[in-house]
Amino acid sequence: MSSDQKQEVRVHIRWMIRRDMPEALDIEAESFEFPWLEEDFIRCLRQRNCIGMVAEHDDRVVGFMIYELNKTRLHILNFAVSQEYRRCGVGSQMLAKLIGKLSAQRRSRIVLEVRETNLAAQLFFRDNGFRAVSVLREYYEDTPEDAYAMQYRYRPERVSLPIPTNRITRLAG
């Protein structure tokens, strides 16, 4: 898909399975300067509270997310979209799926960390309702780089109720 014909792409979001690993690793390698290795994915996904999801388009994995379930929040550990499918709504659809899992009673926020040099990710998450809440100094093991902790808070849907009026007010106009 060339950059001059970027358009909204509908994806199917499902659980990540072992067969998805080569495509996820390719997306990971093209997306990050310090990509996760297959062992990193496997170690993470073997944990009981860790979940992997993929976005599929035309039987092809075009994005993935790895997140952790905690008592009051979801923590995005890894999130990437194939370069040729960026700015086509794939990442936003994956986030919408995750946001749909939030509730006021249980998990009410999503958190993640973004490298200070990854402006594209910072802007993407901001455009999807996330806010930077703190700076994590020298957060990464591979560089002395800082990270921004970003957060999305659950907001219940506001239902607009009709304004009650009495008969006299209605007749008076």
Residue 96's CATH number: 3.40.630.30
Distance CA 6, CA 162 (A): 41
pLDDT of residue 142: 84
Structural domain contains residue 170 = no
pLDDT of residue 5: 59
Structural domain contains residue 80 = yes
Per-residue pLDDT tens over the stretch 5-37: 578 999 999 999 999 999 999 999 999 999 999
Q: Tell me the residue range of the domain where 63 lies.
A: 3-157
pLDDT of residue 169: 56
Per-residue pLDDT tens over the stretch 87-141: 999 999 999 999 999 998 889 999 999 999 999 999 999 999 999 999 999 999 8
Per-residue pLDDT tens over the stretch 147-160: 999 999 998 776 55
Structural domain contains residue 167 = no
Structural domain contains residue 122 = yes
Domain count, the chain: 1
Structural domain contains residue 172 = no
Structural domain contains residue 164 = no
Structural domain contains residue 106 = yes
Structural domain contains residue 16 = yes
